[in-house]
Amino acid sequence: MITTLWVAAGCSVVTEEPGIQVRVVVEGVGQPEGLTEAWAGVRAVSLSPCAVAWHPLDLLGAPARADHSIDSPASAAFPGVTDLLGDGRQVTLTPPVETYCFARFVLEPSEGDGERDGASVGAVLPDGAVRSDQVAWLDLPLDPALALSADAPRATLTLGFVLDGWVAAAGDGAPALFDHARNHVVFDMRTP
C-alpha cells in the first residue's frame, strides 16, 4: 500500500553524491538609468535528469513540484529575494551522478522580506514602486547536457535577469514587469 502511494505521488529518493557540486547563481544583468531597486523572488532551483522528460507533479504546477522536491540534493531553496542590483545570491546543489537536461527555477512571492514581502518581482523607480505577486517557473535547457561524474564533479549555473527594459515594463504595471522579468533572462553553464 505504501509503495503504491509513493509511485502514485511520483516520489523518488535521490541521494546526495559526495564530491559532486553544482553552484547556482541568480543575479541581475545591467543597471539601467532610473531603476533604483530591482528584485526577484526565485524560491527554488532543481535539476531534471535527461531520463525524466515529464513528471506527474508537473500537472499540479510549479509550487507543488517545488515544495514536494525541495529535500532532494538535486534541488535547493533560495531564502528571501535576490537583490538584482547587488551581488545576487547563490546556493550549492550536491546532486547524484547523472546527466541533466533542464534546470527549473521557481519564481514566486517571497515571505519575510520586509517591504519586498509577498512580491515575486519588483522595481523601485523615482516615482514609486511596482510589485508583482505572480508565479511562474522557468525550465531552462542545459545545452549541452550537464553530465556529472567523479571525473566531472563541478559546474556553475548562472541565471541572469536582464534589467534593460525593466523601467519601461514597470511603467506599464505589475503584470508587464513580471512578464518582462521572466521572458528576458540569460542562462549560462560553466564546467571547469
So what's the pLDDT on residue 12?
43
pLDDT tens-digit series, residues 148-165: 999 999 999 999 999 999
pLDDT band per the 50, 70, 90 thresholds, residue 51? confident
So what's the pLDDT on residue 33?
94
> Residue 1 falls within a domain, yes or no?
no
> Residue 132 falls within a domain, yes or no?
yes
Q: Which residues of 91-111 are buried (b: 16+ CB within 10 A; e: fewer)?
A: bebbbeebebbbbbbbbbbbe
Q: How many domains does the chain have?
A: 1
SS3 2: helix
> Residue 144 falls within a domain, yes or no?
yes
> Residue 6 falls within a domain, yes or no?
no
> Residue 3 falls within a domain, yes or no?
no
Least confident of 60-64, 77-81, 93-97, 158-162: 60-64
> Residue 167 falls within a domain, yes or no?
yes
Mean predicted confidence (pLDDT) in 38-61:
78
> Residue 120 falls within a domain, yes or no?
yes
- Transcribe 111-128 into DSSP letters: SS-GGGTT-SEEEEETTE
- Cell numbers standing for residue 54: 515529464
Mean predicted confidence (pLDDT) in 165-182:
97
- Cell numbers standing for residue 1: 500500500
Domain that holds residue 150: 15-190
